[in-house]
Amino acid sequence: MKEVSCRVLDVHFRELKKRGLPPDVWTRGVDIPLAHLQNKHERIDWADFAQLMTNLRRIWTPDEIEAQGASWIDSPFLRYARLLASALFTPKEFYRWLANGTKKGKKGGGSQMHDCTTTDFHDLGTNRLSLDVRIDDGYVHSPEFFLLVKGGFRVVPLMFGKSEAGITLVPIERGMRFDVTLPAGSERVSTLRRAYNWVTASREIASELDDAEIALQARYQEIERQKAKLEVQAKQLSTAHRVNELVQRHLDLDVSLDAIAKALIDVGGYATVTFALDVEIDGLSIVREASHGAGGVTCWDRELVGQDGRRNGTIRVCAYAHADPVEREELLAFIVPNIAMAIDNAISYLVLDDYRRGLEARVAERTAELREAKEARDRIFANVNHDLRSPLSLILLAVAEARRSGNVDPAAEKTLSAIEHGARRVLRMVDELLILAEGRENEVKLATTRCDLGRMAGAVAEAWTAAAGAASLTLSHDVATGTIVLADPNALERIMANLVSNALKFTPKGGTVHVAVRREDGRAVLEVQDDGAGIDDDLKKRLFGRFERGEGARKAAIGGSGLGLSLVKELAEAHGGAASVLDAPGGGALFRVELPLAEPAELAEPAESAEGATAANDANAPALRPEDYGAAGSALAEPRIYECMRGGARATILLAEDDPALRDHTAKLLATSYRVIAAPDGTSALALAKDHAPDLLITDIAMPGIDGIELTKRFRALPNNRMAPVLILTTFGGVEDKLAGFDAGAIDHIHKPFEPEELRARVRSQLAIRALALQLLETEKLAALGTLSAGLAHEIRNPANGIVNAVAPLRELLPAEVLEAGSMTAELLDVIEHCANQVGSLSRELLGFKRGVELKRAGVPLDALLRRVKTTMQHTLDGVSLREKLEYTGPIRCAEPLFAQVLTNLLENGAHAAGRGGWVEVRSGLEEQRVVLEVTDSGPGVPEDLRERIFEPFFTTKPAGSGTGLGLSTARDIALRHGGSLDVRRHGGGSVFRLEMPLES
């Protein structure tokens, strides 16, 4: 296969262009893209070449075809061979080289472009020879091909300054004999060759030319193999993608089986697919047998295992006789897990659907039982809430005792405040749950006394003023003092705090919340009004229900349990009053609580007694604070960067969490090893991700603005963050929430509350997986580049060697007077030799990318190796201060020349960045059984958007001509081949290059 190089087609395309003819008049009937045929680095099958040769007859006469064969001598790729041939060969020797080459067992130069042809040379005496050109068995005969060969053989003497040769064609078995008559004088050798022969042998140059062509052919064959491999992988990915779509698209089991089979047959190219499912789940037996397609010779049976390890059945897949069984089996192994997942999801859906139908059938008979169970649950719920108060009270007492000790520094006080606020918020919610549980039993216990509703409302408004200001809101109040009600003061304060907290949450920045108390128709009226978006009529009907939260609250991720307004209603009704919601004049919502005024007989008591009672009640009240409702965090809602406490951060983590205290503590927890960028919401987190390109994202789900799921999707879409893992930190534990996170691109979920070590461990593991993925990606890129660069280096090196080898003989041939020092000729020869050596050096550097050679490693002391490297760099480090802080100086098992190249490159880059008068610092140490070497400099550092690009081959930030861009790329490649790593990290205002190597005994 691919026996013919597309280089031989170039002369025909040039002739078509010369005559103004479109290429398709010649390529008609050949199913190969035009770009492929015109690419000189590609190859085609002999059958396609023979069709192209037949097409030549439709366009040109036999004489014109022969003339095109003669034009091969002007081909650009033969210029180097033509130059050497004219200097080193006689015409007959060149014919011999075309037939037999210069190495035993190798094809001649004339057969390199056509792998399926052979040429035999016969010397018939002075100026006469014959060439037998045969096409190998199994390949179609092509008369036009022999016309082209005739034209090529005819013009060979022109290369030697002779006239054309006489050619006579004699048909032979599977080919043609070319009787060649050379022009007179063809046996003589040129003067240049006689001068050259005493320096070197022509056979060596011809052999080198032969080697170059053989290497070129080998490279073409390697490209074809890689191309075939990529085609197989592309087909595997296409089939896997189709099956993956099934996981999302189909839930019906039978539809899923049909769709999977269709994908395997139509896209995967298999012959038959047979399913045999037999599984029992919760008493439901699921049996399916289905077969699709026909034929097939080689078959494979695979088990279909669900996510929980449940065996759902088997799948049998058969391939056609002409298919490659190894490739077919590899593809099947690649996609069977996706098939198993699709079938497992469909089975789970079938089980759930059966369970739903069973539940619906039993709803009527279970109504009474459910009511009983619900009441029992409420009683247990109340008891549990009672038990929760004890440990919470103990926490608050411990905080107070710690403060009284007097040994609390500012950092400890901040921690104690966070503990107190968290405990008080939980205690407040426990109290509300307890009250609601009591209300369900119609046993809300109230300690009623005379209370001044207006005075209490004013005190609550004053307490919440600072929280409103932090949220960019205005809180005003207009209360009528002396509005006396018979009520429980704790309950009243809870009613007012819930209404004010709710209004502040749903009022946009710049808005106003107003609290009013007045008497109306013999009743005391408390109103809390805001100028927010208001409440629609449908939500008003159910707003005071338990756990009820509006769609707007959920979309905006506004915190809350959905119990506050339900508690307001039940407490108001327990006092003989009522709670309602109206549309506020001018827009917004107006919450209204009505309570009965105290009896006239009670009002007859002196005013000061009433005030005294109110003051006493206020003193005994729990004094609910805005912090208990999470309303004090707005002042801390600015992004913040936590630098790594140990220096030299391993990675940058973006943390998105709307709770200020949790955000601060989580960031500090991670900042022991990483650089942490903390954001208060999804919107600011996305902006920070664009600016900082973090290595990992940790996000809460419920946040204002963009929630965690949407943030994950948008984060994944950013070009610099596709390899960064996402961890979701949340209290939501449902399957739907997890699936939504995974669909968005999350890698893992961590549930609150979490253990610090668990969070650290998951972060470490995900960053390690990311590092491995980046290493694999880098390895693949360098491997592909190695193949390309090695081929390029071969083509660069051969002409360079020719130039270098020709300079010395040329000096011998030229007169001594023109080679005197300072002469123009001598200087030009020096320039030619120097430039050729530079080209050769570059080719050797390119060949350094070629893989597959086992490294010769030995234990080398780090300090000794560093001394040797410094000795070779004295000129580079001139004017730069080199600092050393070597905590580890022991041996490193490495290939010493390669590892020295890594150190040299890092120090050269550091010296270049620092400049004269600057400094470069080298640190070494041990971390987790790995040798760590860090190189820091006083330069400006590497911009964040270039931290990965600087490791790409041929990318450089230096001026043109100052570097090849291969230094850091080669250094990372060497580190990877040693089982280590090399990357660049942020360090203060600059950057640090961190090299890690395994510590081997």
* Token pair for 56: 């030549």
Confidence band of 623 (pLDDT split at 50, 70, 90):
low
So what's the pLDDT on residue 508? 85
Cβ–Cβ < 8 Å for 899, 864: no
Q: Give the dihedral sign, CA 24/27/29/30.
A: negative
- Pairing, β 474-479 against β 311-319: unpaired
Cα separation of 772 and 612, whole Å? 72
When the candidates are 3.90.650.10, 3.40.50.2300, 3.10.450.50, 3.30.565.10, the CATH number that belongs to 858-998 is 3.30.565.10
Task: Name the residue with higher pLDDT: 92 or 646.
Answer: 92
Picking from 543, 437, 546, 431, the residue whose alpha carbon sits closest to that of residue 493 is 431
DSSP-assigned states of every residue in 580-647: EEEEPTTSSEEEEEEEEBPPHHHHTS-HHHHHHHHHHHHHHS----GGGGT-SGGGG-S-EEE--TTS
User: What per-residue string of b and e applies to 422-453 under the rule 16 or more CB within 10 Å gives b?
Assistant: bbbbbbbbbbbbbbbbbbbeeebeeeeebbbb
SS3 372: helix
Q: Which residues face 885 on adjacent strands? A: 923
> What is the topology classification, in CATH, of domain 4-199?
H-NOX domain (3.90.1520)
Question: What CATH architecture is 229-381?
Answer: 2-Layer Sandwich (3.30)
Least confident of 464-478, 621-635, 861-875, 962-976: 621-635
> Which of 17-26, 646-655, 696-705, 960-969 is modeled with the greatest confidence?
17-26
Cα separation of 717 and 726, whole Å? 13
The rounded Cα 940 to chain-centroid distance in angstroms is: 28
Query: Which strands sit side by side in the sheet containing 881-886, from one edge to the other?
Result: 881-886, 919-926, 930-937, 990-998, 981-987
> pLDDT averaged over the chain?
79
Whole-number percent of the chain with pLDDT over 70: 76
On the question of pLDDT at 189 being above 80, the answer is no
Element counts in the chain: helices (H) and strands (E): 29, 30
Confidence band of 1001 (pLDDT split at 50, 70, 90):
very low
Q: Which amino acid is at 409?
A: D
Cα separation of 76 and 496, whole Å? 92
* Token pair for 851: 């893989």
Distance between terminal CA atoms of the chain? 50
So what's the pLDDT on residue 149? 92
CATH number of 446-619: 3.30.565.10
CA atoms within a 13 Å half-sphere pointing along the CA-CB vector of 23: 14
So what's the pLDDT on residue 432? 64
So what's the pLDDT on residue 301? 94
Q: How many CB atoms lie within 10 A of CB 656?
A: 31
Least confident of 32-46, 471-485, 719-733: 719-733
- At a CB cut-off of 8 Å and minimum separation 6, what does 491 contact? 446, 571, 574, 575
How buried is 480 (Cβ within 10 angstroms: 0-12 exposed, 13-18 middle, 19+ buried)? middle
So what's the pLDDT on residue 194? 47
* Token pair for 583: 């549309």
Cβ–Cβ < 8 Å for 539, 583: no
Q: Which amino acid is at 517?
A: V
On the question of pLDDT at 601 being above 60, the answer is no
- Summarised one tens digit per residue, pLDDT across range 677-694 is 999 888 999 999 888 888
Region 521-541 average pLDDT = 86
- At a CB cut-off of 8 Å and minimum separation 6, what does 963 contact? 956
Element (H, E) at 50: helix 46-59
Picking from 697, 837, 851, 846, the residue whose alpha carbon sits closest to that of residue 762 is 697
Q: Helices 202-249 and 325-404: crossing angle, nearest 10°?
A: 60
On the question of pLDDT at 310 being above 80, the answer is yes
Triad 571, 577, 582: Cα angle to 5°: 95
Cα separation of 614 and 450, whole Å? 7
DSSP-assigned states of every residue in 793-853: HHHHHHHHHHHHHHHHHHHHHS-GGGGSTT-HHHHHHHHHHHHHHHHHHHHHHHHTT---P
Region 607-634 average pLDDT = 48
Cα separation of 35 and 14, whole Å? 15
Least confident of 107-111, 553-557, 983-987: 553-557
Region 977-990 average pLDDT = 81
DSSP-assigned states of every residue in 936-1001: EESS----GGGTTGGGSTT---SPTTS--S-HHHHHHHHHHHTT-EEEEEEETTEEEEEEEEE---
- Summarised one tens digit per residue, pLDDT across range 854-875 is 667 888 898 988 988 887 787 7
- Inter-CA distances, 1000 with 857, 928, 982, Å: 11, 12, 18
SS3 121: strand
Cα separation of 271 and 317, whole Å? 8
* Token pair for 596: 């009965």
So what's the pLDDT on residue 302? 93
- Summarised one tens digit per residue, pLDDT across range 719-734 is 766 678 999 987 766 6
So what's the pLDDT on residue 959? 57
- At a CB cut-off of 8 Å and minimum separation 6, what does 539 contact? 550, 551
So what's the pLDDT on residue 357? 86
Least confident of 166-175, 242-251, 325-334, 347-356: 242-251
Q: How many CB atoms lie within 10 A of CB 109?
A: 22
Q: What is the dihedral of CA 59, 61, 64, 70, to 10 degrees?
A: 100
Tallying the residues shown for the chain, one arrives at: 1001
So what's the pLDDT on residue 174? 92
So what's the pLDDT on residue 384? 62
Note the pTM of the prediction, 2 decimals.
0.41
Region 617-628 average pLDDT = 52
Cα separation of 107 and 115, whole Å? 9
Region 527-556 average pLDDT = 73
User: What per-residue string of b and e applies to 252-273 under the rule 16 or more CB within 10 Å gives b?
Assistant: ebeebbbbbbbbbbebbebbbb
Cα separation of 839 and 744, whole Å? 51
Cα separation of 243 and 341, whole Å? 10
Least confident of 107-121, 533-547, 947-961, 970-984: 947-961
SS3 695: coil
So what's the pLDDT on residue 79? 56
* Token pair for 357: 């139908």
> What is the topology classification, in CATH, of domain 637-754?
Rossmann fold (3.40.50)
So what's the pLDDT on residue 208? 58
Region 937-948 average pLDDT = 80
CA atoms within a 13 Å half-sphere pointing along the CA-CB vector of 898: 22
Element (H, E) at 759: helix 756-813
φ/ψ (deg, to 5) at 382:
-65, -40
Q: How many CB atoms lie within 10 A of CB 464?
A: 26
Cβ–Cβ < 8 Å for 970, 904: no
- Summarised one tens digit per residue, pLDDT across range 387-420 is 666 576 667 767 777 777 777 777 777 777 777 7
Triad 66, 67, 72: Cα angle to 5°: 100
Q: Give the dihedral sign, CA 485/486/490/494.
A: negative
Cβ–Cβ < 8 Å for 490, 622: yes
Q: Give the dihedral sign, CA 817/821/822/824.
A: positive
Region 882-898 average pLDDT = 88
Q: How many CB atoms lie within 10 A of CB 129?
A: 21
User: What per-residue string of b and e applies to 840-860 under the rule 16 or more CB within 10 Å gives b?
Assistant: bebbeebbbbeeeeeeeeeeb
On the question of pLDDT at 519 being above 80, the answer is yes
Q: Which residues face 305 on adjacent strands? A: 311
Confidence band of 606 (pLDDT split at 50, 70, 90):
very low
On the question of pLDDT at 181 being above 90, the answer is yes
The rounded Cα 451 to chain-centroid distance in angstroms is: 64
Write the DSSP symbol of residue 935: E
Q: Where are the alpha helices (DSSP H) in 171-295?
A: 191-197, 202-249, 253-262
Q: Which residues face 291 on adjacent strands? A: 274
- Summarised one tens digit per residue, pLDDT across range 116-157 is 899 999 999 999 999 999 999 989 999 999 999 999 899 888
On the question of pLDDT at 506 being above 70, the answer is yes
Q: How many CB atoms lie within 10 A of CB 507?
A: 23
